[in-house]
A and B are shown apart, each in its own frame.
Chain A
């Protein structure tokens, strides 16, 4: 009872005298059944087991040889009758049916809920497993995407989830075993690298990255039309350290996108060399060539079928009109029969084979050839082309052999140096090399019939040359690859360098090809021009060009600024972060990671 002034409605409860009332126990599990029926409750109340405790008014106590009533004062005190002689209470009543307290009822309701839940779960799983005649999995966390749903045919969960068909102890073990879903994914999805490593490629150096799981980013069961390949930035931020975290694309300090590399946007220096600045500015200065000057980048680079890429024109489309003629006019001189101080007569077999009727005069020898040996054959013959005494015997020996055997001795020399005669000497007929050899060992110039065509292997009066059939000639390609791959060491260094110099001289032979097809940085031969390799970035040119065209502003050069000519970057400046930030990161243009980057490298 509060000490506040009593209001008319105030409940009048006497709490002052504890002897005048029973002790209410809210946590006692049962209430008197009489009280439940709004009758006077008995003094003793229900027992703890839920049975009625009020059949008698009290439990008499025995003091000495007499029984005494123990009815409490709040229940009226000791009764006048007192206990019966046998010690039982005089006042007996029919038992009531005690009522469970609210707490017990709540406990029972909770227990019922638990049992019902277990039953529902069992029902769901029984339904899913077909026990109840249904054939529908009700426990899956959501429909699969259409592609996966078709794949698993609606019920073969085990394709992805190994634990699905486990039972008994193995099911219990599955609770604690690691389930590698990525392994199941990689059975269908192939990557150009290790599927469980970050970005599908084991990192180099001291880094030992932990394995990643496909489901870390791609969460299935989001619905048939869910696109589980488009991921939020948070998926990238989950791994990337703060110093490379791209919280904002726009420049906001340390949390911004890191600056692009110095080479970003420059054309790949390992691709076919093409000086854009020259082709825009230098080559078309003369008035008569002005009409051929490209109007824009898209004059040559058409939009490719591949999303976002631009076609690189083929040689025939973009280069042949100007460069085809020069390629055909620049033969490769493979063998030169050199000037000799003196010569031995040809061998009997060679004389017979070549049908040499008249031998030269040994005493009054005058060399028909006044040429120096070629650097290419000098490399294969291991001779010094500037020392006549060094190469003389070797050339005579080779001449005799070639005269008799045709191509084979030359092929042997090529093979000895690691070359592939089948490619390097492809199409070389024996008589083309044998006839000039026969003449040279007889100290004569070869005067053969006019060649049938202007391309291929040609017997020269004092040697052997190869005239390319045009662009992409397979023999010249083989020679350039051989020259690019051959190593130089020790004693061979000088001759190897000489060979490379001969092969890659832009003014002679295959060197013209190398002026475009040799990567200046690596020396590697690049035969097909491909778009710049971007393993983890993607750029769609099409929308960018569309915007620029709509705005009527300058086109490709908005990003690709022409640089100085003859630069390694093929006439282009690099693209800086600020170029992209002009639009991306602003309100109207997206700047999520996936806009420009892809997790899985391009194949």
Chain B
């Protein structure tokens, strides 16, 4: 039982990565060079590892297939990615190659790795921040939720106007707060963790509240509560956008890397092998 608990995914997959790397490293030292030269050995290992990186993408394309948890595949993807870096250095024998073509490949590789590391860090940090912010909402759902909040606010304004016979709150909303409820705002501030949005909203409410009577203030309080939800939605929107945006760098670069690697392999076979 203890063993089974110890052999969790978080331990087994990294252990697998370490074994993989150690095997490749030892193989380059132990292999009979008359059979295969170490650069070719590490090159083919790199190729296999690179192809295995595609498995995550493939898994995502087949959501209906019983192929295990996507998170497990992601874990494997990350570990193989970590193994790839020393394996790459082992292959080129240095950190930065000499030739222009190889330098382009290396630059793309490092960018892919860097974007992957940044993405993985964001995957670790941002969901925790979102949980702290409260609630769970998918990225696709956020626009509808914002629209729903805006309709709720507009419903309150109609009710306020009907009850008090005054349009001051509605006019003030239209001139100031409507901009805020229209769509996600202060995205950069949310990403940076600043409370600019709350200050902006509180400042406008403070300026508005002096011209309202007691009934209108009651409605304004309800709008402020809805604004709390808007703050949370904006935070979700900003962070989830960030959480996905790194893939716009990682994935295209990775596919570009595959193209360059394929050409590199072809060159090696034509010129050397």
Contacts and interface: CB of A to CB of B under 8 A. Distances in A.
Interface in A236-286: 237-239
Given A124-B100, A238-B38, 12 more contacts: A1-B135, A11-B136, A24-B140, A25-B140, A102-B244, A116-B256, A139-B99, A142-B98, A142-B102, A179-B272, A222-B98, A234-B29
B63, B147, B182, B231 — most chain A CB neighbours (10 Å): B147
A11, A31, A198 — most chain B CB neighbours (10 Å): A11
A97 to B, nearest CB: 15
A102 B248 CA distance: 9
Nearest to A26: B140
Contact of B256 (A113, A138, A213): A113
A240 to B, nearest CB: 10
A152 interface: no
Contacts of B182: 38
Interface stretch (B69-77, B158-166, B205-213, B259-267): B259-267
A141 interface: yes
9 contacts: A1-B135, A11-B145, A24-B140, A38-B182, A41-B144, A140-B100, A164-B270, A179-B271, A235-B33
B135 A11 contact: yes
Interface string A172-196: 0011101101000000000000000
Interface of B: 29, 31-35, 37-39, 63, 93, 97-102, 104, 133-141, 143-147, 151, 182-183, 225, 228-229, 231-233, 235-236, 244, 247-248, 251-256, 258-260, 263, 266-267, 269-273
Contacts of A238: 29, 31-33, 38
Interface residues of A, number: 74
A9 B232 contact: yes
B142 to A, nearest CB: 9
Contacts of A36: 143
Contact of A138 (B35, B101, B141, B146): B101
Interface of A: 1-2, 4, 6-13, 21-22, 24-27, 31, 35-36, 38-41, 102, 105-106, 109-114, 116-118, 120-121, 124, 138-143, 157, 161, 163-164, 166, 171, 174-176, 178-179, 181, 198, 209-213, 215-216, 219, 221-223, 234-235, 237-239
B127 to A, nearest CB: 13
B270 A166 contact: yes
Contacts of A174: 269-270
B228 A9 contact: yes
Majority-rule SS of A interface residues: loop
B272 A13 contact: no
Contact of A163 (B35, B39, B270): B270
A161 B271 contact: yes
A222 B134 CA distance: 56
A142 B99 CA distance: 4
A171 B33 CA distance: 27
Nearest to B94: A222
Contacts of A210: 34-35
A569 B146 CA distance: 99
Nearest to A120: B104
A176 B34 contact: no
A141 to B, nearest CB: 4
A222 B253 CA distance: 27
Given A11-B145, A26-B140, A141 B102 contact: yes
B273 A178 contact: yes
B272 A161 contact: yes
B138 A221 contact: no
B143 A113 contact: no
Contacts of B267: 139
Contacts of B97: 141-142
B108 to A, nearest CB: 8
A41 B63 CA distance: 26
B232 A38 contact: no
A20 to B, nearest CB: 11
A117 B256 contact: yes
A40 B37 CA distance: 63
B100 to A, nearest CB: 5
A239 B33 contact: yes
Contacts of B232: 9-11
A36 B146 CA distance: 12
B255 A9 contact: no
A140 B100 CA distance: 7
A2 B39 contact: no
B134 A7 contact: yes
Contact of A143 (B98, B147, B231, B236): B98
Contacts of B252: 106, 109-110, 112-113
A212 B33 contact: yes
B42 to A, nearest CB: 13
